[in-house]
Amino acid sequence: MNVAIVGSGLAGFTAYQTLRRGGLTPDEIAVFGTDSDPVAVWRPRAEAIRQREMRSESDGHCRATSWPGLSLQAARRRRSPLPLVASLCDRYHPSVEDFLAHVAELRERSGWERSVRTERVERVRAVDGGFELEGQGVVRHVLLAPGHPGLELPAKLRADPRVVHAYEPHEYESTVTVVGAGLAAATEWLNALAAGSEVVSVRRREPLRRPLNVPREYFSARGLAPFHRLGPAERVARLRALLAPSYPPGRRFDEPLAQAAREGRFRVEASPNGSRQVICATGFRRGFRADPLLAALVDDHQLDTAAEWIVLAADGTVPALTDDTRTLALAGAPGQWAFPAADTLAGARYAGHAFLRRIKACRTR
């Protein structure tokens, strides 16, 4: 076994597509994860918040290259140029239904099932010749894509019987407090209002309004270059600013919220007070310490860290454990040190391409 991906979610799946397009066969790649379905974790969370369309744009897909995007696929299916026109204006957002169909198609044709092993890897150690995946042998090139380490609940609310996380199945009570200020929170404001609820928004700060979860320039090499030149303290500060809660601008949110505020059904308060239900749209636990595999990796090898991040090279590799003979890289949210939007599909492609370059470089030596 020469190449392994630890994590069978969307980050690992997208990186896998990149490796396949780069010439690796399904038999050359081992994917370890808890489920063979790459949307097994993502789908129920999207269903919980009644998500109908993706925040990502046409290139928010799992293929190895940005083009062709999902807007072209939609234009062909509808026999209309409108999705392509919307994409040119950065206004095309695939439906969740279309995205899931896209994943199913790639899963069938890419050989994914031949590569996936539904087994959990709980420890990765550097050894001669590569990395030992606990219980699975030694692998020369490893991409860790463990996903988010779990749902975040504010400590003060964990024992409150009214609390449910936005990404868990739920209906809506007559009075609802939504804690949080990102896209999941904004989506839940609209969901609860549509269900007839009176809604209170509790937030620590005002959310940013931007189309994507980080500014668009950080998806390009030109935008990343100055980010990669930042020192550790500056990069930590920049990441915390970039990853602040946000949701898209526009009428989709502004008009129903303004109307509900005029009717006295939507307001901002400092605490949940007397609401019958509290929905925590507070996202995920953050940092390598929240993930047992990553925490053990850091402790076992005394890796460099900065705040909650493992320090990575610009290509997403772990410098102390990567050389001309072996590769250890991170994808998904743990890869934000190299690519701020690492937990997006574009971020998974970035990690996948960098990982592929490493593998190919080692083959030539």
Identify the structural domains of the chain with CATH numbers, from first to last: 3-67+96-150+285-363 (3.50.50.60), 155-207+245-280 (3.50.50)
Q: Model-level pTM?
A: 0.94
Give the pairing of strands 130-133 and 175-179: unpaired
| Residue 168 burial class via C-beta count within 10 angstroms: exposed 0-12, middle 13-18, buried 19 and up | middle
Percent of the chain whose predicted confidence (pLDDT) is above 70: 99
Residue 363 has what pLDDT? 67
Tens digits of per-residue pLDDT, 100-154?
999 999 999 999 999 999 999 999 999 998 999 988 889 999 999 999 999 999 9
Tens digits of per-residue pLDDT, 70-111?
887 777 887 787 777 777 777 788 899 999 999 999 999 999
User: 253: how many CB neighbours lie within 10 A of its CB?
Assistant: 17
- In 83-122, which positions are buried (b, 16+ CB within 10 angstroms) versus exposed (e)? bbebbeeeebbbebebbeebbeebbeebbbeebbeeeebe
Averaged pLDDT score across all residues of the chain: 94
Tens digits of per-residue pLDDT, 174-226?
999 999 999 999 999 999 999 999 999 999 889 999 999 999 999 999 999 99
Contact 50, 195 (CB under 8 A): no
Residue 273 has what pLDDT? 82
> What SS3 class is residue 169?
coil
Contact 69, 84 (CB under 8 A): no
- Would you give the distance in Å from CA 129 to the centre of its chain? 31
Query: How far apart, in whole angstroms, are the C-alpha atoms of residue 330 and residue 316?
Result: 6
What DSSP line would sit under 6-64, residue for residue?
E--SHHHHHHHHHHHHTT--GGGEEEE-S-SSTTTTHHHHHHHTT--B-SS-TT-SSSS
Residue 1 has what pLDDT? 64
Residue 88 has what pLDDT? 72
Residue 364 has what pLDDT? 56
Q: Which residues pair with 202 in a beta bridge?
A: 179, 269
Residue 63 has what pLDDT? 93
Tens digits of per-residue pLDDT, 228-257?
999 999 999 999 999 999 999 999 999 999
Residue 81 is classified by DSSP as S
Q: Which residues pair with 100 in a beta bridge?
A: none
Q: Taking phi first (over 0 means left), then psi (-120 to 50 degrees means alpha), and beta for anything else, what does residue 297 get? A: alpha
Percent of the chain whose predicted confidence (pLDDT) is above 90: 85
201: Cβ contacts below 8 Å, ≥ 6 apart: 177, 178, 181, 185, 189, 266, 267, 268, 269
The sign of the CA dihedral 253, 254, 259, 262 is positive
Task: Give how far Cα 208 sits from Cα of 60, 245, 325, Å.
Answer: 21, 6, 43
> What SS3 class is residue 135?
coil
Residue 116 has what pLDDT? 97
Query: How far apart, in whole angstroms, are the C-alpha atoms of residue 331 and residue 338?
Result: 9
